[in-house]
Structure 1
């Protein structure tokens, strides 16, 4: 009798295992094939282990319709894979993948490609990154020449898409585009060897013979002069005379075609949660009030005798908080980054192998760019208008953009070969920006902030992101004006006036993205508090951070479940040998 029961159990387990293996294999084949298609389709250039692409993607309506049909077909196939038969690891992969596919489909459905430029980013601006990636072989240089040779066609397709968007009122608000054409004119009017397109040829590998280097340089200069720059001339004419003068004068995402649905989708894409604009606005107001109280406490620690508004004016104007030379700002940022290096092993078990450089934001975009931006291999520091770059905020900025923020988290994910490529090489804003903002907050525990002013700078950055919840929803769902948004930041943060204006224009032009930061940080901090309470003395900060970072980049509901699994496993991290 017992033997019969045992045999039945073995058979059942074998069938279940076979189903799991089959479902897992089907899922892996689906996302692996689609990711390979996606890389080829978009001539992806973000992974520098691959060669420089030899072409640019097609972005015309026919190509866009084909992408929509392809992703809809892939999602239908994903829906047919029985979730209950997946292993735990592949169940997580399926949830992250479904989130990606739904956002890709939504972007096509709303025809987001008809607005390929705003106050923060643009299709022509992407070449600054493409040109500064690693070029290792002679073929990389030949591919680059072929790629930029396609630029007239690529620009023409984007311009046609922008005309279609213009026709239906799907454009960025006009007020956010003022002065953004300078970068286009800068390329159109420059000498070919002074454009970013020639940047790869300024320092070529010694393995390429000198004669061949000379031939490649001459060919590149010819393509830049005869194809690239004429395309920029055409773009400048379109931008100045046809596009910007006829873009919409409204601000809100609600004012766009099907605007309410579009804004809710943007929130879902960036914040990864089904939270209404009204609720996000309420959360923001509550968090700003809480942080304001903390800021006033720190203000009193400095010995300042005036009120809060006077203190903000003092911070924005006193010379002690500003440098006068760009290199001095870069040096201070480097000092903070190295200070973190000395603390890293106390808070993290696994460290990324990749290092990062610190460079100034390029001159042509610096006037409109954020104070800094980071990612794999690079931390950009904005040295434009040094009177708007306070030193008291630099430690928080550096922790966010370099390590342990973006230039730390993203390489860790890319180096983790246990994750499928679509997770290693993708970025979900609520997780990535939430982690980077958590990194700023963690700086207190790591001892990075040495003065009350620097702690106030950190709190000002925290309230800046909390205020984004208020301002983003205010602008896009509640009819706020640009002036009201600027005044809200002016009254509640220590951001300089210049930065407030560039940031507000960024939120106006990029609905929903600003909600991801603080909601993401709140989720990570809540998960940590939950783990600390449940594990008590077993809680290990290194193991917790490793567990969070090992997820790659995931929607917040997935992160919550992964932390619950970490707690259920007794607080053991993914790399026990490093605890």
Structure 2
């Protein structure tokens, strides 16, 4: 199967992406002696113990988040890491060597988070601990409802522990920057209402399924309403008061991670955690500048095609104000996304040998979080499109967003890995998400839309480039803010001038990078790694290269650190480009 080759010119940047510590690089197959069944069994016992501990720790309720619990967890995790250190990775089978590398990354991340007491900053401008406790629909059994009611009753304790932690972080200067917090408490307001028609927690009790007897439904509604009024509402009211009267007014005025306690080391740790690569902030900044220049050249080609004379910033501004690209209703935006997803369906067999049976839906982002939420997000059951403030969601961006979040991006990715991995993936890995691998795949999926023919107009193609620029600019902006002293205004100007994102999105994105150091770096670095490995596989395999097998092998790995992905593709090349067992590629 022949597919148009990728042209990626930033060779130096690609080489830099491959940098990793020697300890993180798995042994090459040539250096591996005969695997030991005893070593495999020892490792399996270790990660099964770890999985049981995680299950016992969190169970079906809300976890304890006290400093004492975090300290006890640190001791436990350190013990697991000591047991892992005692296993010689050279004696492990190929599959177990991957599991060992993943487990090591997970344990080291938890130890590093504890070192910097990350729990003392339990939210940022994008994510928090209070928005996802209310299900959007009902449950299927009385037991599930009873568990949910128990969790609701536990919310006051859970919020109080998070509040104590946040107050401790505030006192030592380890807080979310104040400039990113304006209006963020508004998402709590619906949860403070005693009106069951307003409070999102009541939705689960409005939709109790008919298979539950009416007498039980009445009882569950009464208990649910009591839990909302007696536990949920007071907890959210207390949290709202804490945030607006205590935390926000006293949060730090600085922006940079470097400005926090032990900030330079903390930012370096965040880079390692989110990228799974051994790159410095300065190296990433230079990679970003190279990618920005490359994408700008491609943007100018499209501007010439549509006859626009002016700068990229001027073209972006003209797109933002062009009524042709603004949906008139939320359903219009959702319809564009749904149609893109269906057109993608028609191309998937050319690019993947294994196609999962599971089907996802597309939903709007929940209204209580939409004003400050990102443009979209993907998941196993559904991908989300943000329909808040439609002028800030231009339709030329929707194809790229749908490819990233829905298919062949995150929703497809989740279904593929669940059905292909199944019980063969250890339980501890089913909960893990490495941003470099996961978000790198999402951005690669946007690029794949070019080959699939999904972008039909110059404006949609520019939207795709604008989204790629968005991720490339992050490399410059994140490092600029957290290690080079950039102001928020400088970051806003840099992103706004180079992308067709709306001014609203530009603002929410910059606040996200300020309040969540390092996370935004994963996307572009992960995508560059995948594209570099594809070029290498195409060149070395020649006519044996099959894009379906290459993609299947990547997704079948599950979520892994980028060095593990590199090792797998090296093995894919060495074995002549073999696909997955049991999948037909004829």
Checking the alignment, whether the CA contact within 8 Å between 2:474 and 2:521 is kept in structure 1 is yes
1:40 paired with 2:46, answer: no
Q: CA deviation at 1:254?
A: 0.5
Question: Aligned to 2:362, what secondary structure does the other structure show?
Answer: strand
Measured in 2, the distance between the counterparts of 1:271 and 1:215 equals 49
Aligned residue for 2:321? 317
Aligned residue for 1:296? 300
1:123 paired with 2:129, answer: yes
What is the aligned residue count?
551
Aligned residue for 1:25? 41
Q: CA deviation at 1:351?
A: 1.9
Question: Aligned to 2:36, what secondary structure does the other structure show?
Answer: helix
Aligned residue for 1:349? 353
Which aligned runs of 4 or more in structure 1 are off by greater than 4 angstroms?
A: none
1:101 paired with 2:107, answer: yes
Checking the alignment, whether the CA contact within 8 Å between 1:183 and 1:365 is kept in structure 2 is yes
Q: CA deviation at 1:180?
A: 0.5
Aligned residue for 1:530? 536
Q: CA deviation at 1:278?
A: 0.1
1:422 paired with 2:438, answer: no
Measured in 2, the distance between the counterparts of 1:437 and 1:307 equals 25
The one of 76, 85, 103 equivalent to 2:91 is 85
Checking the alignment, whether the CA contact within 8 Å between 1:349 and 1:575 is kept in structure 2 is no
Aligned residue for 2:4? none
Measured in 1, the distance between the counterparts of 2:414 and 2:557 equals 11
Alignment of 1:34-433 (within 5 A): 34-43=50-59, 53=60, 55-128=61-134, 131-132=135-136, 135-415=139-419, 416-417=421-422, 418-433=424-439
Measured in 2, the distance between the counterparts of 1:411 and 1:38 equals 24
1:471 paired with 2:487, answer: no
Checking the alignment, whether the CA contact within 8 Å between 1:372 and 1:379 is kept in structure 2 is yes
Q: CA deviation at 1:309?
A: 2.9
Measured in 2, the distance between the counterparts of 1:341 and 1:511 equals 36
Measured in 2, the distance between the counterparts of 1:221 and 1:337 equals 39
What do residues 95-141 of structure 1 show as CA deviations (whole Å, max 9, x unaligned)?
1110111001111111111111111011101314xx13772211001
Aligned residue for 2:571? 565
Checking the alignment, whether the CA contact within 8 Å between 2:313 and 2:496 is kept in structure 1 is no
Q: CA deviation at 1:218?
A: 1.1
Question: Aligned to 1:379, what secondary structure does the other structure show?
Answer: strand
* TM-score of the superposed pair, with normalisation by structure 1: 0.93
Aligned residue for 1:50? none
Aligned-residue Cα RMSD (Å) equals: 1.4
Measured in 2, the distance between the counterparts of 1:508 and 1:352 equals 38
Q: CA deviation at 1:193?
A: 4.5
Q: CA deviation at 1:576?
A: 5.7
Checking the alignment, whether the CA contact within 8 Å between 1:170 and 1:256 is kept in structure 2 is yes
Checking the alignment, whether the CA contact within 8 Å between 1:543 and 1:571 is kept in structure 2 is yes
Aligned residue for 1:10? none
Measured in 2, the distance between the counterparts of 1:28 and 1:424 equals 15
Measured in 1, the distance between the counterparts of 2:312 and 2:186 equals 38
Checking the alignment, whether the CA contact within 8 Å between 1:413 and 1:425 is kept in structure 2 is no
Measured in 1, the distance between the counterparts of 2:313 and 2:257 equals 32
Unpaired segments ≥5 residues, structure 2: 1-32
* TM-score of the superposed pair, with normalisation by structure 2: 0.92
Aligned residue for 1:48? none
Using CA pairs under 8 Å that are at least 6 residues apart, name the structure with larger relative contact order, 1 or 2: 2
What do residues 198-243 of structure 1 show as CA deviations (whole Å, max 9, x unaligned)?
2222222221011111110111001000111001111111111111
Measured in 2, the distance between the counterparts of 1:503 and 1:433 equals 16
Unpaired segments ≥5 residues, structure 1: 1-15, 44-52
Q: CA deviation at 1:414?
A: 2.6
Question: Aligned to 1:403, what secondary structure does the other structure show?
Answer: coil
Q: CA deviation at 1:253?
A: 0.4
Q: CA deviation at 1:190?
A: 4.8
Measured in 1, the distance between the counterparts of 2:510 and 2:160 equals 30
Q: CA deviation at 1:346?
A: 1.2
